[in-house]
Amino acid sequence: MDFVNGYTDHVYCLISLNKQQTILDVVHLLKGESSHCINKNNLCKENFKWQDDYFAVSVSQLRVNRVRDYIKNQEVHHAKKL
């Protein structure tokens, strides 16, 4: 996990995979472990559950810092859309 941030109802994760990992495996692990932690610690009023879908895209090493900045500035990014 390189960088994580989100806004209200969605989250962005910058993740570096090794050759043995698949996107599906990492998403499954991320959703499962985070749901378990959230529900175990009663961090939501109701049982927390992720939606079924997700979106993944590969990023060139040359663009990693730009993607990190985009993820970091989600609140600013969404404020411009209001």
pLDDT in tens, 9-48: 889 999 999 999 999 999 999 999 999 999 999 999 999 9
pLDDT of residue 64: 96
Phi, psi of 27 (to 5 degrees): -65, -45
pTM of the model: 0.80
Residue 70 in 3-state DSSP?
Answer: helix
pLDDT in tens, 45-82: 999 999 999 999 999 999 999 999 999 998 887 787 65
DSSP string, 2-67: -EEEEETTEEEEE----TT--HHHHHHHHHHHHHHHHHHTT-SSS-----S--------GGGHHHH
